[in-house]
Structure 1
Amino acid sequence: MRIAVAGGTGGVGRLVVDAVRAAGHEPVILARSTGVDLIRGSGLDEALTGTPVVIDVSNVSTVNRKKSETFFGTATGNLLAAGQRVGVRHHVALSVVGVDRVNWGYYAGKRIQERLVLDGAVPATVLRSTQFHEFAAQMLASVPGPIAVVPQMRIQPIAAHEVAHCLVDLALADPAGRVPDIAGPQQLRLSDMARRLLRVRGRHRVVLPIRLPGATGRAMAGGGLLPTGPGPRGTQTFDTWLATPAALRTTGRPG
C-alpha cells in the first residue's frame, strides 16, 4: 500500500518513511524536493492519487503564534482538501502532549491542526507525543553563548523512532480520532537534560533555568507537558540516547 508522508524529508519524517518501508509498504514523500508544496497546495492531488493513507509530520521551526497558526492551518487545510478530492481514507497527524494546557505560541498552531483534522471530512487519527530526546539540543542551539537560558519544564522525552513506528501502526489501523498520548519512560527536567547533553558533547556552558512569565510558565514548570492518562510508552531512556551518535549531531525540533 502507498502511504503518503507529509514532511517526509525532515528529521521525524525520515524515520516515518523508514518505518513505512519496514512495514512492507511504499512511502510517498510530500515535500518541496519531490514537487509538493503544502502551503501552496501544488502537487498534492497528483501525489495523493492512489494513496489511501496520509501521515502528517510536517513542521515549522517557530515559537511565534501567528507563524505557527498560519503554517499549520494552511498546510493542514490543503492536505485535507486534496485528500477529500482524491479519496484518502485515513489521515494521521502528529501533535504534542499538553497543547491544550500550555498556551505557547507554537502550540497555538498545533491546536488549529488538531481541530481541522478531527472536524474534517477525511477519517482521521491524532497522536499527541511528548518532546523527543533531541529537544534539549534544539533549545541549546536557540541560545548561543556561554550561558544557556532554558525554560523551566518537566517533560517525559521519547525516542523519535518509537513515535514514528507508532504512527505507522496507527495508519495501518482504522481511524480512531484522538488516541492516547505517547510518552517516554521517565520524567525529567529540561535543565538537567541540557546539562547532561553538554557534558556528553564536551561543552562548557552554564545552564540557567528560568520560569517563563504568567500561566504559560507555571504550566510548563508544573507538568502541563506531561501525559495525564495511560497510553503507549517508549523504552529508550534519555541516557541511552546520549550514548548514540545522534546526541552529538542533532538539534531537534520545537515541542
Structure 2
Amino acid sequence: MNEPILVTGGTGTIGRRVVTLLHGAGHDVRVLSRRGGTDAPGIQHVVGDTHEGTGLDEAFAGASTVVHLAGGPKSDDVGARHVVQAAQRAGTSHLLLISVIGAGDVPIGYVRMKGETERIVRESGVPFTILRAAQLHSLLLPVASKLSSLRLAPRDVRLEPVDGEAVATRLAELALSGPSGRVADIAGPEVLTFADLVAQYNAHRGLTRRVMRMPVPGALGRAYRDGTNLASAPVDRMGSTWQQFLEGADPMTTARPDKAASGRAA
C-alpha cells in the first residue's frame, strides 16, 4: 500500500484514463466524484463535489499529489477555490490542474473562467502544475456533426484538436514529476479550420455537402483571427490527427450526424 494520488473527476473521459495510467505505473489512486464508484485493489472511490465543497477533506487526507480534473461549463472557479482550500488544509505538496489554451484571453465565458481558475491555483501557495490543452477530438465530434447538418462553418476559426489519450498520458507524466508551474501547452499535430474539420467529417461519412463559411463578429472574431485560441510556444504536439480519430471512432457516433450532434460529451 502506498500513498494514494487523488484524482478529482476521475470518472470522466480523461479522468478514467489518468486513473488507469497511474495505477498501471504502480500507484494507489483515490477517485473523487459526485456518484462514487466500485473500488478495486489500489483504486478507492470517495463521494464528493468540488463545486459544493463536500467530501473534500476525506478525499485529500494522506494524498500529497492531487490531479484536479473535475469541472464543467459553469462555476469552475468556485470548484477550484474549494479544491485549493482543501489542499491548504491537507498540506498538499503538488496540485496539477488541467486548463484550456487561451485561458483568460479568449472572450468566451468558460475560457475566461478557466483563466480565473488558473489564477486561484497560482496564488494559493500550494505547489502546482498547470497544463493547458487544446480541444479534444471527442468534444469536437458532435460540433462537427451539427455543423455538417447545418451546412455551416465559422470563418477564420483555427483549431488544434488533440487526442484524449495523449492528454491523459501527459497528465499522468506530470502527476509523477512534481510541481512544474505552467508547462508547455499540449495540442494536436495539425492546425485546422472549422471548415477543414467539417470537410473531413463529411468525407469520412461519404457526405457531399457544400458548407457555407459564416463570419464570427465582434471581439470573439478578432480573437480567432489573431489566433488567441492557439497554443503559444513552447507547445507539445502529439497524438493522432483528426482524420485518424475519425477513422478509429465508434461507428455509432458518426453514422447519423443529426443524432450524434445532440449527444452530451462526458
How high is the TM-score relative to the length of structure 1? 0.86
Q: Which of these two proteins has the greater Rg computed from alpha carbons?
A: 2
How far apart are residue 159 of structure 1 and its match?
0.7
Indicate the residue corresponding to 2:57 in structure 1: 45
Q: Distance in 1 between matches of 2:251 and 2:238?
A: 18
- Which residue of structure 2 lines up, in the alignment, with residue 65 of structure 1? none
C-alpha separation between the residues in 2 aligned to 1:226 and 1:252? 25
Separation in structure 1 between the aligned mates of residue 105 and residue 174 of structure 2, nearest angstrom: 25
1:91 Cα offset (Å):
0.5
What fraction of aligned residue pairs are identical, expressed as a percent? Answer: 33
Tell me: CA distance 1:144–1:184, structure 2 relative to 1, closer, same or farther (3 Å): closer
Q: What residue is the counterpart of 2:28 in the other structure?
A: 26
Give the Cα separation in 2 of the matches to 1:246 and 1:218.
35
- Structure 1 residues 25-174: aligned runs within 5 Å: 25-34=27-36, 35-60=47-72, 62=73, 68=74, 71-140=75-144, 143=146, 146-152=149-155, 153-174=157-178
Q: Does the CA contact (< 8 Å) of 2:104 and 2:116 recur in 1?
A: no
Paired residues, number: 245
Deviation at 1:220, TM superposition (A): 1.6
Q: List alignment gaps of at least 5 residues for structure 2.
A: 37-46, 254-259
Post-superposition CA distance 1:123-157 (Å, at most 9, x none):
1110111111223213246x589415443321111
CA 1:217 to 1:25, structure 2 compared with 1: closer, same or farther past 3 Å? same
| Gap change, CA 1:241 and 1:181, over 3 Å in 2 | same
For residues 61-117 of structure 1, the C-alpha deviation after alignment (integer angstroms, 9 at most, x for no partner) is x4xxxxx3xx11211011111111112111000111112431111101101110001
Under a length normalisation based on structure 2, what TM-score does the superposition of the two structures give? 0.83
What is the Cα-based RMSD across aligned positions, in Å?
A: 2.4
1:10 partner amino acid: G
Deviation at 1:202, TM superposition (A): 5.3
Name structure 1 gaps, 5 residues minimum: 63-67
Q: Deviations over 1:214-248 (max 9, x none)?
A: 12112224422222212322132122111113475
Per chain length, whose mean CA-contact separation is higher, i.e. which structure has more relative contact order (CA < 8 Å, sep 6+)? 1
Q: Which deviations, in whole Å up to 9, do the C-alpha atoms of 1:3-52 show, x marking residues without a partner?
A: 11111111121222222223221221111012111111111111111111
Render the CA deviation track for 1:186-233: whole Å, top value 9, x for unaligned: 111122212322443456766444232112112224422222212322
- Note the C-alpha offset of 1:252: 7.7
Amino acid at match of 1:196: Q
Q: Secondary structure at the match of 1:174?
A: coil
Distance 1:229 1:206, change over 3 A: same
**Whole-angstrom CA distance in 2 between matches of 1:47 and 1:162:** 27
| 2:182 pairs with one of 178, 188, 191 | 178
Q: Contact conserved, 2:104 with 2:114, CA < 8 A, in 1? A: no
